[in-house]
Amino acid sequence: MPDFTRSRERMVETQITRRGVGDAAVLDAMREVPRERFVDRGFEEFAYEDSPLPIAENQTISQPYIVAIMIEACAVQPGDSVLEVGVGSGYAAAVLSRIAARVHGIERHASLAAMARSRLQRLGYDNVEVRTGDGTKGWPEVAPFDVILVSAGGPEVPRALKEQLAIGGRLVIPVGVGDEGQTLLKLVRESATDFRTENLGPVKFVPLIGEQGWAEETPPSKATTAKARPAPSLPQKIGEAAELLPDFDNPAFPALFHRFADKRVVLLGEATHGTAEFYRARAAITRHLIEVHGFTIVAVEADWPDAASIDRYVRHRPARSAAQPFQRFPTWLWRNTEVDAFVEWMRYHNEAVSPDRRAGFYGLDIYNMNDAIGAVLDYLDTHDPEAATVARQRYGCLTPWQKDPASYGRAVLSKNYQTCESAVVAQCRDMLARRLQDGADDIELFDAAQNARLVAAAEHYYRVMYYGSAASWNLRDTAMFETLERLLEARGKDAKAVVWAHNSHIGDARFTEMGMVREELNVGQLCRQRFGADAALIGFGTHSGTVAAATDWGGDIEIKRVLPSLPGSYEQLCHASDMPRFLLDLKRHETLREELLKPRLERFIGVIYRPETERASHYVQASLPQQFDAFVWFDQTTALTPLGPRHAKAGAADTYPFGL
């Protein structure tokens, strides 16, 4: 079996210590107990993930963090006698046994109790005794206990357990009625009759079934009679599989995405181009991937030269010119308060990092031909004025169309105008040859060469635009993907990237109408084909709220109401799950995944939103579990805030990089 020592160390550091568990005895115990020996065969590689895992009898081994906070709350002392109700795999009992004198564990499933008993014996935890039975009645022969830890959720605190707690003893138990989980309670017995109770926050445990718990087969819901549980509906199954998302600022939020940390590329989508929650979630996840897991590339659906201005700012490199980025419609995509806050964070984070390890902000898109031409010429003016003259002549072919490149394609098509293809391709070749010759590590040259590529790709894009949308879409997404590949190559062999783009770019196109009907491909599909399981495609969705969007191309930004999702859509299923915000890991829930496979409606809102014709304009058929590896849901969402003069920071220099 592989050595998991480092994974265990990392688990304790990132999932437990950083979230505020500070009890040295608990941390030491968790560093010692080999969690991989307590999971079912085949699950070893997931043993140090930040989540519960399935074990036999439809039960779970609890999330490591939850085990840690429960044990810390119990304030276990070296001489203590402990009772654990719900031994399951035996993991929590083993951790307890490293601190307490004796641990008594009860498990209602005989098969689990037997497995835990032999596992604990084999691993040498000889101060743990396990028996099969109903733990809600406690273990009167051994009582009183200094500590009682209940690892399953009951309707109330069992009377027997309170009675069997020593004076001064601590009892920790999840209690709750309703389908949304339980509240973790800590009771301290202050006298024969008095208990002090503390609320430790929301949790989600399997039910505590027994005489003083839930009746067998009774759902832990508001129903209290022991009726057979009806088969759960699809939204209920989504609700059960979904992992509730905490606040963005809570460290538990990004930690839920820890499972994607070993990927080469993590693609984060969005169902609209104007929703604050999508930006904030992506920022929180990306900060974590950069800070804790060494990602160095943030590649976004923005034009290369515009993003390059931000990159100069965040990597503490000198500004190229006074040019202000993101002046083209739709400006709010990147000129908004959420992106501004993230950019400031990147700059701050990079300050303490050596220049070659600094995280960069890059644009994958190809629309801004005008600024890309300007950037190539700027570079050559400084480094090789003769070559700059040649480049000016070549790019001169595009001068009439530089401000309105879309009309270039029409002019070429009507045969009144000669194509500039050979001129821009020649210039691109020259820049690449210069890169080969002058050194691959020169950041300024890499930037200039990338701008020359953009001009060549944009020239082609605007020319084929008039032949039909599939050809130009495919050209654009292929160019975006190739830029991503080049970035990974340029940032070193271990480089890892986060991509921010619309769901239409990052969800595998083969499983939406794009691929199924229109022969369109996209960045997500190309990433899967190139990186396989090393790419994680994560979609984002919403039911209703507000969104920043325009009514027509080139129109003003408006804050529009997002209509409630349509019946028959994936969004409607997520909404009916009654979970306000969640992560649904489609790879971990095979049966649910299969039930969701059949194509359904899915909503795509871009920079234009037309609620009047919503069904025709914004919904397409898709198979969501094939399109994405995971789905992030915010039931109610709000429009992002565009940057305006009121966001200008004090002092002219401080307005950089957005130039407010």
Active site residues: 62
Contact range with ligand SAM by CB under 6 A, out of 59-67, 251-259, 398-406, 443-451: 59-67
Selected from 14, 51, 63, 89, the binder of ligand SAM by CB under 6 A is 89
With vertex at residue 596, the alpha carbon angle to CA 524 and CA 283, rounded to the nearest 5 degrees, is 45
| The one-letter amino acid at 250 | N
d(CA 148, CA 156): 15
Selected from 15, 83, 135, 630, the binder of ligand SAM by CB under 6 A is 135
Binding-residue pattern over the window 185 to 224 for ligand SAM, x denoting contact by CB under 6 A = --------------------xx-xxx--x-----------
Q: What is the dihedral of CA 379, 332, 362, 393, to 10 degrees?
A: -30
Q: Residue 54 Cβ, how far from ligand SAM at the closest point, in Å?
A: 10
d(CA 660, CA 640): 17
Q: Residue 135 Cβ, how far from ligand SAM at the closest point, in Å?
A: 3
Q: Extract the tokens encoding 274.
A: 């104007």
Q: Residue 94 Cβ, how far from ligand SAM at the closest point, in Å?
A: 8
If one asks whether residue 100 binds ligand SAM (CB under 6 A), the answer comes out as no
If one asks whether residue 173 binds ligand SAM (CB under 6 A), the answer comes out as no
Nearer to ligand SAM, 63 or 275 (CB): 63
Contact range with ligand SAM by CB under 6 A, out of 128-136, 159-167, 347-355, 622-630: 128-136
Q: Extract the tokens encoding 138.
A: 């406690």
Nearer to ligand SAM, 104 or 312 (CB): 104
If one asks whether residue 106 binds ligand SAM (CB under 6 A), the answer comes out as yes
C-alpha dist (Å) from residue 625 to 268, 574, 646: 15, 13, 42
Q: Residue 167 Cβ, how far from ligand SAM at the closest point, in Å?
A: 24
- Window 588-617: residues binding ligand SAM (CB under 6 A): none
Q: Extract the tokens encoding 141.
A: 């022969």
Selected from 26, 68, 75, 92, the binder of ligand SAM by CB under 6 A is 92
Who contacts 49 (Cβ-Cβ below 8 Å, separation ≥6)? 258, 259
If one asks whether residue 511 binds ligand SAM (CB under 6 A), the answer comes out as no
If one asks whether residue 161 binds ligand SAM (CB under 6 A), the answer comes out as no
If one asks whether residue 478 binds ligand SAM (CB under 6 A), the answer comes out as no
Size of interface with ligand SAM, in residues (CB under 6 A): 26
If one asks whether residue 451 binds ligand SAM (CB under 6 A), the answer comes out as no
Q: Residue 323 Cβ, how far from ligand SAM at the closest point, in Å?
A: 57
Phi-psi region of 423 (alpha: psi -120 to 50; beta: other; left: phi over 0): alpha
Please name the residue that has the structure tokens 């049966």. 591
Q: Residue 526 Cβ, how far from ligand SAM at the closest point, in Å?
A: 41
b/e map of 613-639 (b: 16 or more CB within 10 Å)? ebeeebbbebbbbbbbbbbbbbbebbb
d(CA 378, CA 587): 48
Q: Extract the tokens encoding 547.
A: 């969104």
In this structure, are residues 284 and 583 in contact, taking their beta carbons and an 8 Å threshold?
Answer: no
If one asks whether residue 474 binds ligand SAM (CB under 6 A), the answer comes out as no
Q: Residue 207 Cβ, how far from ligand SAM at the closest point, in Å?
A: 7
Q: Residue 121 Cβ, how far from ligand SAM at the closest point, in Å?
A: 16
DSSP states along 475-487: HHHHHHHHHHHHH
Please name the residue that has the structure tokens 């010692």. 32
Nearer to ligand SAM, 80 or 107 (CB): 107
Nearer to ligand SAM, 59 or 626 (CB): 59
Q: Residue 90 Cβ, how far from ligand SAM at the closest point, in Å?
A: 6
d(CA 162, CA 167): 10
If one asks whether residue 91 binds ligand SAM (CB under 6 A), the answer comes out as yes
Helix-helix angle 276-291:337-351, to 10 degrees = 10
Phi-psi region of 223 (alpha: psi -120 to 50; beta: other; left: phi over 0): beta
Q: Extract the tokens encoding 233.
A: 């509906």
If one asks whether residue 108 binds ligand SAM (CB under 6 A), the answer comes out as yes
Nearer to ligand SAM, 47 or 536 (CB): 47
Selected from 40, 44, 129, 134, the binder of ligand SAM by CB under 6 A is 134
Nearer to ligand SAM, 108 or 312 (CB): 108
- Window 61-80: residues binding ligand SAM (CB under 6 A): 61-62
> Residue 466 CB: number of other CB atoms within 10 A?
16
Contact range with ligand SAM by CB under 6 A, out of 103-111, 283-291, 432-440, 569-577: 103-111
d(CA 442, CA 432): 12
Residue from 583, 591, 570, 576 nearest 631 by CA: 583
Contact range with ligand SAM by CB under 6 A, out of 57-65, 233-241, 279-287, 440-448: 57-65
If one asks whether residue 85 binds ligand SAM (CB under 6 A), the answer comes out as yes
With vertex at residue 570, the alpha carbon angle to CA 568 and CA 574, rounded to the nearest 5 degrees, is 115
Phi-psi region of 320 (alpha: psi -120 to 50; beta: other; left: phi over 0): alpha
Q: Contact residues for ligand SAM (CB under 6 A)?
A: 59-62, 85-86, 88-89, 91-92, 106-109, 112, 134-136, 151-152, 205-206, 208-210, 213
